[in-house]
Amino acid sequence: MNLIWLKFARDRSALTGLVIVALVALIALLAYQIAPYPEDAFSSDPMRRLRPPGAEHLLGTDSLGRDILSRVVLGTRIALGIALSVVTAAMAIGVPLGLVAGYFGGWRSEAVMRVTDVFLAVPQLILALALAQLLRPSLESAMAALILTYWPFFTRIVYAETQRLRHAMFVEALEGLGARPLRIMFLHILPNIASPIIVRATIGMGYAILTAAVLGFLGMGAPPPQPEWGLMVAESRDYLPDAWWFATFPGLAIFLVVFAFNLLGDGLRDIVDPRLRRSR
Amino acid sequence: MLLFLLRRVLLVVPVLFGLLLLTFVLTRVVPSDPAAALAGDQATPQQIAELRATYGFDRPLPEQFLHYLVQIAHGDLGSSYFTRRPVIEDLIERLPATLELTFFALLLSVGLGIPLGVVAALHHNRWLDQVLRVFSVGGIAIASFWLALMLQLVFAMELDLLPLRGRISITGDAPPHLTGSYLIDALVFWRPDILRDALEHIALPAATLAFGSLATIVRFSRSGVLETLQKDFVTFETAIGYPRRVIIAKYVLRNSLVSTVTQIGLLFGGLIAGAVVVEAVFDWPGIGGYAAGAVFSADFQPLLGVTLLIGAVYAGVNIVVDLIHAWIDPRVAETM
């Protein structure tokens, strides 16, 4: 454990990622305390519309006179909320399926892995769009669509890892002692394959935030007046090039948070899986 | 090699069948009233009843599925509820524009990404490498719709260097139709004026689309070269006095680019998906913009058609990638 921390502390980019992620989580928790105009999540003030960045409004105001800094800060709650629920739910579906497929093999693994293939046969964004559309556009539909497109990634990795451990000495010993499959899978195999799952989940956070923003931009995510970053960028389009700040800052927020999760995910992968070490 | 190709094609069949089953379940089984779901919000009861009759929603499900398969085998992807045009016709008309954009973006990201990745690896841990490393992680974190707007803001609106949207100037003509790609057609019929116009129009959307995959390719080719450089044969060749340039150009590159090539298949899927957003922002008249339009008007049939078409194109591209992979590394074909 100490060794892992030592390695982590030496990896400057992973550490940067962790610091930013921690900061963003803090901002999300304290959003209503930090935002200078917390009421601007929903209320508008046409008297101060489209003000450029200045002392009163650090990042300017939008077309309805709402403070952009406040909305970007409040948006962290939506982004992290979506990402956490999507990744957790995708894990809840994908991990057990991968365990079953990898442990039992045979028709069970065929069935699970062929379904996984089908979900991976179409680019994730396209599938998410079709699903969100079918479920009627709303924030919940967007989240459901993201969950349904992301679980196969967990299944695939858990399947491969479980197969690797299937005939490990400790698994065969447990079988010899008469432990039931469920017990072996969840209490003994799962803890041994936690690291790649955590790495996947970290990268999945970035994926979920980015894709949720795309759905929001296309009008299939959070409805107005929610301070969702993708939606904010979409609303800014009619005011370019004059109100450049309106489009710029929500997009920067997306970039920063996704970047941080990717840095962290990369760093974690290098530490927990030296085989994949990308000679950084 | 032929056997390899045949096996590879056969592997795709169950996946495509599964995709059809999945779309069938999603559109016909999940919604309580599939006719109403297909028709969209603005449909009248007569329209819904009409749909129910044409698609046979009152029949048993297996019969419906068979009917669905037969329909798709005949190229019938339904029609748009707004324009009333058959989806398949729209798709055929718009596919060349999307293929032109995605292949141009792919060319851009491979053509720039591999040299940059190799350069980064050869400058391992020096400042150039550090810069490219930040870029390769950052590039995939940028939302493409935002990058598109930023590029429009700087290059089209502020600097007025490149056109804001579209595939060709409104005042200019399209080249004579041969392949459907304006760039290739303008080259073949040698119309430099159109070629220039088309190049100016494709520059920003292609740059937006290429950005994420460029970052991925830099990353993979960099790590591929770094890994190969540590192999024993490189040490051996260095020891017997081969010039470094020859070792890298002749042996290291071929050995290290295998993993990059396999990435290209995955990237192509990302590019085609990214085209939805990029085409929507730049008014590019391809299937991506078509899908985005269908999203805005809650028109489900076109979106379903796009999903199936992209699934098929994606499968085809992956077969081609596997063939290239087998050509670079013949051991691959033997293990399959």
Q: Does B219 touch chain A (CB under 8 A)?
A: yes
pLDDT at B51 over 90: no
Q: In chain A, positions 15-74, which contact chain B (CB-CB < 8 Å)?
A: none
Residue written as token pair 């920003």: B204
* Residue ranges covered by each domain of chain B: 2-73, 93-335
Contact A263 B280 (CB under 8 A): no
CA-to-CA separations, B307 to A119, A165, B91, B167, B292, in angstroms, rounded? 12, 37, 11, 23, 12
Q: Which residue has the higher pLDDT, A87 or B183?
A: A87
Q: Which residue has the higher pLDDT, A170 or B44?
A: A170
Helix axes B300-328, B87-122, angle to 10 degrees: 40
At A231, list the tokens: 């939606």
Q: Poorest-confidence range of A214-218, B69-73, B80-84, B146-150?
A: B80-84
Domain that residue A107 falls in? 12-31+60-276
Could you report how far apart the first and last alpha carbons of chain B are, in Å?
10
Q: Does B19 touch chain A (CB under 8 A)?
A: yes
Task: With beta carbons less than 8 A apart as the criterion, state whether A246 and A60 touch.
Answer: yes
Q: Mean pLDDT throughout A134-156?
A: 89
Q: How far, in Å, CA of A267 to CA of B137, rounded?
A: 11
Q: What is the pLDDT of residues B238-287, one digit of tens each?
A: 888 888 888 888 888 888 877 777 778 778 878 888 899 999 999 999 99
Task: With beta carbons less than 8 A apart as the criterion, state whether B290 and B302 touch.
Answer: yes
At A250, list the tokens: 């929500």
Q: How far, in Å, CA of B57 to CA of B48, rounded?
A: 11
At B293, list the tokens: 């339009």
Q: What is the pLDDT of residues B164-200, one digit of tens each?
A: 888 888 777 778 887 888 888 888 888 888 888 888 8
3-state secondary structure of B119: helix
Residue A179's domain is classified under what CATH number?
1.10.3720.10
Q: How far, in Å, CA of A257 to CA of B141, rounded?
A: 8
pLDDT at B38 over 80: no
Query: Taking Cα atoms as reference points, which of B272, B10, B2, B319 lies closest to residue B144?
Result: B272
CA nearest to A239 within chain B: B153
Tell me the DSSP string of B173-201. PPPPPSSS-HHHHHHHTT-HHHHHHHHHH
Does residue A237 fall inside a structural domain? Answer: yes
Sign of CA dihedral A44, A224, B152, B208: positive
Residue B29 DSSP one-character state: I
Query: Taking Cα atoms as reference points, which of B74, B115, B102 lies closest to residue B317?
Result: B102
Query: Taking Cα atoms as reference points, which of A82, A89, A87 lies closest to residue A201?
Result: A87
Q: Mean pLDDT throughout B191-219?
A: 89
Q: What is the pLDDT of residues B96-155, one digit of tens each?
A: 999 999 999 999 999 999 999 988 988 888 888 888 888 888 888 999 999 999 999 999
Q: How far, in Å, CA of B210 to CA of B218, rounded?
A: 12
As to burial, measured by CB atoms within 10 angstroms (0-12 exposed, 13-18 middle, 19+ buried), residue A8 is middle
Does residue A4 fall inside a structural domain? Answer: no
At A71, list the tokens: 């909305």
Q: How many structural domains is chain A composed of?
A: 1
Bridge partners, A243 (sequence order): none
Q: Does A230 touch chain B (CB under 8 A)?
A: yes
Tell me the DSSP string of B35-73. HHHHH-TT--HHHHHHHHHHHTTTS-HHHHHHHHHHHHH
At A280, is the pLDDT very low, low, confident or very high (cuts 50, 70, 90)? very low
Q: How far, in Å, CA of B86 to CA of A156, rounded?
A: 38
Task: With beta carbons less than 8 A apart as the criterion, state whether B291 and A214 touch.
Answer: no
Sign of CA dihedral B143, A77, A15, A268: negative
Q: Poorest-confidence range of A106-115, A174-183, B246-255, B284-293?
A: B246-255
In this structure, which amino acid lies at residue A124? Q
Does residue A41 fall inside a structural domain? Answer: no
Cβ-based contacts of A133 with chain B (< 8 Å)? 294-295, 298, 300, 303
Name B31's Cβ contacts closer than 8 Å, sequence gap at least 6: A134, B37
Q: How far is A220 from chain B (nearest CA, A)?
A: 8
Residue B331 DSSP one-character state: H
At A129, is the pLDDT very low, low, confident or very high (cuts 50, 70, 90)? confident
3-state secondary structure B73-97: HCCCCCECCCCCCEHHHHHHHHHHH
Question: Which range has the top average pLDDT, A27-36, A78-87, B157-166?
Answer: A78-87
pTM of the entire structure? 0.87
Task: With beta carbons less than 8 A apart as the criterion, state whether B206 and B183 touch.
Answer: no
Q: Mean pLDDT throughout B76-83?
A: 80
Residue written as token pair 């299939």: A220
What is the value of ipTM here, to two decimals?
Answer: 0.89
Q: Which CATH number fits domain B93-335: 3.40.50.970, 1.20.140.10, 1.10.3720.10, 3.40.228.10?
A: 1.10.3720.10
Q: How far, in Å, CA of B136 to CA of A16, rounded?
A: 16
3-state secondary structure of A61: strand
Does residue A21 fall inside a structural domain? Answer: yes
Q: How far, in Å, CA of B280 to CA of B261, rounded?
A: 29
Does residue A44 fall inside a structural domain? Answer: no
- CA B31 to centroid of chain Cα atoms: 30
Does residue A54 fall inside a structural domain? Answer: no
Q: How far, in Å, CA of B46 to CA of B131, rounded?
A: 62
CA-to-CA separations, A73 to A34, B19, B284, in angstroms, rounded? 8, 40, 33
Q: How far, in Å, CA of B296 to CA of B277, rounded?
A: 12
Of B149, B273, B294, the CB nearest to A247: B149
At A72, list the tokens: 């970007």
Does residue A226 fall inside a structural domain? Answer: yes
Centre a 10 Å sphere on the Cβ of residue B224 and count the other Cβ atoms it contains.
26
Does residue A184 fall inside a structural domain? Answer: yes
Of A118, A126, A280, the CB nearest to B22: A118
Contact B307 A127 (CB under 8 A): yes
Residue A41 DSSP one-character state: G
